[in-house]
Amino acid sequence: MDFMSVFLPVLILGVVIVAVLVVVATVASAVSAAAVEDDEEDE
């Protein structure tokens, strides 16, 4: 059946997207936290 040939790429793509979102969210929170700390130190 063609189901698996369609399902696997979609599943892999979904996992990759989730992984990228997690990394971006982690980096963004770390950067914003560092920016806030730098901002407080600056004042």
- Is position 30 within any domain? yes
For residue 8, give both structure tokens: 């696997």
- Is position 7 within any domain? no
- Is position 3 within any domain? no
Q: Which domain holds residue 24?
A: 14-43
- Is position 18 within any domain? yes
- Is position 1 within any domain? no
Number of domains observed in the structure of the chain = 1
pLDDT for 39: 66
pTM of the entire structure?
0.62
Q: What is the mean pLDDT of the chain?
A: 87
- Is position 35 within any domain? yes
Q: Is the pLDDT reported for residue 42 higher than 70?
A: no
- Is position 6 within any domain? no
- Is position 28 within any domain? yes
C-alpha separations of 35 from 2, 22, 30, 32, 40 in Å = 49, 20, 8, 5, 9
